Structure 1
Amino acid sequence: MFLPILCVFSLILSSHAAVQDFCVGDLAAPEGPAGYSCKKPANVTVDDFVFSGLGTAGNTSNLIKAAVTPAFASQFPGLNGLGLSIARLDLAVGGVVPMHTHPGGSEVLLVTQGSICAGFISSANTVYYKTLKKGDIMIFPQGLLHFQLNGGGIPSIAFVSFSSPQPGLQILDYALFGNDLPTELVVGTTFLDKAQVKKLKAVLGGTN
Structure 2
Amino acid sequence: MMKGVHFPLSIVATLALATFLVSASDPSPLQDFCVAINNTESAVFVNGKFCKDPKLATANDFFFSGLRIPGNTSNPVGSFVTPANVEQIAGLNTLGISLARIDFAPNGLNPPHTHPRGTEFLIVLEGTLYVGFVTSNGDNNRLFTKVLNKGDVFVFPVGLIHFQLNVGHVNALAVAGLSSQNPGVITIAKAVFGSNPSINPDVLAKAFQVDDKEVEYLQKQFWYNNN
Structure 2 counterparts to residues 21-170 of structure 1, below 5 A: 30-33=44-47, 35-123=48-136, 124=139, 125-170=141-186
The answer to whether residue 199 in structure 2 is matched with residue 186 in structure 1 is: no
Report the number of matched residues: 177
The normalised TM-score by structure 2 is: 0.74
After superposing on structure 2, the runs of 4+ consecutive aligned residues of structure 1 that deviate more than 6 Å are none
Using a 3 Å threshold, how does the CA distance of structure 1 residues 96 and 46 change in structure 2: closer, same or farther?
same
Q: CA deviation at 1:37?
A: 1.0
Using a 3 Å threshold, how does the CA distance of structure 1 residues 115 and 31 change in structure 2: closer, same or farther?
farther
Verify the 8 A CA contact 1:30 1:36 in the aligned structure 2.
no
The one of the two structures with greater contact order (alpha-carbon pairs below 8 A, sep at least 6) is 2
Separation in 2, partners of 1:81, 1:55: 25
Amino acid at match of 2:188: L
The answer to whether residue 196 in structure 2 is matched with residue 200 in structure 1 is: no
The answer to whether residue 193 in structure 2 is matched with residue 177 in structure 1 is: yes
Q: Deviations for 1:151-206, whole angstroms, at most 9, x for unmatched residues?
A: 1111110000000000010011011111211222111112122232222222235x
Separation in 1, partners of 2:44, 2:173: 33
Verify the 8 A CA contact 1:85 1:161 in the aligned structure 2.
yes
The normalised TM-score by structure 1 is: 0.81
What runs of 5+ residues in structure 2 fail to find an aligned partner?
1-42
Amino acid at match of 2:161: L
Cα RMSD after superposing both structures: 1.6
Separation in 1, partners of 2:177, 2:45: 21
Q: CA deviation at 1:121?
A: 0.7
Amino acid at match of 1:165: Q
Radius of gyration: which is bigger? 1
